[in-house]
């Protein structure tokens, strides 16, 4: 039995190392594209089409004022910002008005849906309304818990110079907004685990999805897929939007630009619920790929090998397997977390990420225990294909 466990540990470490190799093999292409993008952004005249920035809001989340401020401080000639909430008296909308008042030169619209249409995913109704009221034909959509640099819009607009490009998305760094161990663990998972998965998916099948923290689409692409309403019953609306654009023949681009995704789930319970929800959403959106994710984790197999090695009196083998697991995670953490998304949190990358890798496996296992998720104070049930209904 112990030898069978050792064999399983070796198998898992081989598969996770293959995944690490695939990620590292994808890095030269990403770095080349980033260099080319930087050169294009330095050329004159710059490609700066007018943009409509769509910002759905839900309450005054911690740090929201400072995050919204970064969108008003863009070095970009022509753009507007549209904010939308479910209720006109939403605290997040009131905060957006306060921020906008400090930047009167930026055109802004403040909208609310009144809860209609009553979609399962309430954010979709907000995006529909903002799209109707938007002045320009390239929509840049970003979540409320996002912080950006002043060149953000220029970087997002750049790929749309190619008329074949219909959509774009950005990788992101996880940033623990209020510190805390659980938030830092979730943040480093965003920086490394999420980004690594995106790079491998692009290498294997091209970009067929987008990521919620930043998505950008041409107006006609959204119209062609039937509007934002196609995602009304889905939890992973970002995945569906990019996938629908891909199915309609539009090119989806992975930007060279990385943004800050602020982790506001400081407590243990909030962080756990959020990460399990994300795993369950992925399970229902991409069931085959999600099942294979189990073979990309390293630390569970390293610990298994260490335990089996010690129990069978093959201490050197057990320690070697554990070292193998750690080296695999450090390579992934440095290659993606530091070099790709430029996360400078060395404690998170070197110390916390191996722990997060083990937690990621546990979240993956937990995703198969139930089809129910908690989201914004409500409980939903996920259905085959990624749709959801009120539980």
Q: Is residue 389 part of a domain?
A: no
Do residue 6 and residue 61 come from a single domain? no
Do residue 14 and residue 143 come from a single domain? no
What does each of the 391 residues of the chain score in pLDDT, given as a tens digit? 888 999 999 999 999 999 999 999 999 999 999 999 999 999 888 899 999 999 999 998 889 999 999 999 999 999 999 999 999 999 999 999 999 999 999 999 999 999 899 898 989 999 999 999 999 999 999 999 999 999 999 999 999 999 999 999 999 999 998 888 999 999 999 999 999 999 999 999 999 999 999 999 999 999 999 999 999 999 889 999 999 999 999 999 999 999 999 998 778 888 888 898 889 999 988 888 899 999 999 999 999 999 999 999 999 999 999 999 999 999 999 999 999 999 999 999 999 999 999 999 999 999 999 999 887 778 889 988 888 888 7
Do residue 105 and residue 242 come from a single domain? yes
> Is-contact 274 265, C-beta < 8 A?
yes
Do residue 151 and residue 15 come from a single domain? no
CA atoms within 13 A on the CB side of 116: 1
Predicted pLDDT of residue 374: 81
Closest of 291, 286, 294, 295 to residue 205, by C-alpha = 286
Q: Is residue 146 part of a domain?
A: yes
Q: Is 32 left (phi over 0), alpha (psi -120 to 50) or beta?
A: alpha
Do residue 90 and residue 10 come from a single domain? no
Question: What is each CA distance from 263 to 57, 86, 178, 185, 335, in whole angstroms?
Answer: 16, 23, 8, 10, 22
The domain boundary, picked from 207, 234, 265, lies at 265
Read off the pTM: 0.94
> Is-contact 80 134, C-beta < 8 A?
yes
Predicted pLDDT of residue 357: 97
Residue 93's domain spans which residues?
Answer: 36-265
Predicted pLDDT of residue 5: 94
> For 139-151, what is each residue's pLDDT tens digit?
999 999 999 999 9
CA atoms within 13 A on the CB side of 123: 19
The domain boundary, picked from 265, 297, 317, lies at 265
Q: Is residue 29 part of a domain?
A: no
Q: Is residue 155 part of a domain?
A: yes
Predicted pLDDT of residue 108: 98
Q: Is residue 176 part of a domain?
A: yes
Predicted pLDDT of residue 272: 87
Taking residue 106's Cβ as centre, other Cβ atoms within 10 Å add up to 17
Predicted pLDDT of residue 321: 97
> Is-contact 80 105, C-beta < 8 A?
no
Do residue 109 and residue 11 come from a single domain? no
Do residue 54 and residue 124 come from a single domain? yes
> What are the backbone angles phi and psi of residue 206, rounded to the nearest 5°?
80, 170
The domain boundary, picked from 207, 231, 265, lies at 265
Predicted pLDDT of residue 112: 97
Predicted pLDDT of residue 376: 74
Q: Is residue 281 part of a domain?
A: no
Do residue 52 and residue 195 come from a single domain? yes
Do residue 305 and residue 237 come from a single domain? no
Q: Is residue 195 part of a domain?
A: yes
Number of independent structural domains in the chain: 2
Do residue 187 and residue 215 come from a single domain? yes
Residue 231 DSSP one-character state: G
Q: Is residue 277 part of a domain?
A: no
> Is-contact 17 25, C-beta < 8 A?
no
> For 36-83, what is each residue's pLDDT tens digit?
999 999 988 889 999 999 999 999 888 999 999 999 999 999 999 999
> CATH code at 80?
3.90.550.10
Residues β-bridged to residue 372:
381
Do residue 184 and residue 50 come from a single domain? yes
Bond prior to 45 in cis (omega within 30° of 0):
yes
Do residue 13 and residue 133 come from a single domain? no
């Amino acid at each position: 039995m112990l030898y069978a466990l050792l064999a399983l540990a070796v198998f898992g470490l081989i598969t996770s190392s293959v995944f690490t190799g695939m990620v590292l093999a994808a890095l030269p292409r990403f770095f080349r594209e980033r260099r080319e993008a930087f050169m294009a952004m330095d050329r004159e005249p710059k490609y700066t089409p007018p943009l409509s920035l769509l910002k759905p809001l839900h309450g005054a989340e911690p740090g929201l004022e400072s995050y919204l401020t970064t969108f008003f401080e863009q070095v970009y000639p022509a753009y507007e910002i549209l904010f939308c909430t479910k209720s006109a008296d939403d605290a997040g909308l009131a905060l957006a008005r306060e921020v906008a008042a400090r930047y009167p030169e930026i055109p802004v619209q403040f909208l609310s849906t009144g809860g209609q249409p009553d979609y399962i995913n309430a954010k979709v109704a907000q995006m529909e309304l903002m799209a109707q009221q938007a002045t320009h034909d390239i929509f840049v959509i970003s979540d409320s818990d996002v912080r950006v640099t002043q060149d953000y819009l220029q970087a997002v607009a750049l790929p749309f110079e190619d008329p074949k490009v219909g959509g774009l998305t950005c990788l992101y760094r996880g940033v623990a907004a209020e510190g805390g161990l659980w938030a830092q663990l979730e943040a480093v998972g965003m920086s490394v685990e999420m980004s690594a998965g995106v790079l491998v998916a692009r290498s294997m099948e091209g970009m067929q999805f987008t990521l919620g923290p930043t998505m950008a689409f041409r107006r006609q692409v959204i119209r062609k897929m039937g509007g934002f309403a196609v995602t009304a019953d889905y939890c992973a609306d970002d995945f569906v939007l990019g996938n629908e654009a891909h199915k309609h023949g539009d090119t989806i681009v992975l930007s060279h630009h990385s943004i800050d995704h602020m982790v506001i789930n400081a407590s243990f319970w909030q962080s756990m619920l959020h990460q399990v929800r994300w795993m369950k959403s992925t399970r229902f959106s991409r069931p085959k790929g999600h099942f294979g994710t189990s073979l990309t984790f390293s630390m569970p197999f390293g610990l298994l090998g260490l335990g089996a090695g010690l129990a069978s009196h093959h201490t050197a083998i057990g320690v070697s397997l554990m070292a193998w697991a750690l080296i695999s995670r450090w390579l992934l953490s440095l290659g993606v977390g530091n070099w790709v998304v430029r996360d400078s949190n060395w404690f998170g990358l070197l110390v916390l990420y191996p722990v997060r890798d083990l937690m990621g496996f546990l979240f993956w296992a937990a995703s198969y225990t139930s089809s129910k998720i908690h989201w914004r104070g409500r409980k939903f049930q996920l259905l085959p294909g990624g749709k959801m209904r009120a539980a």
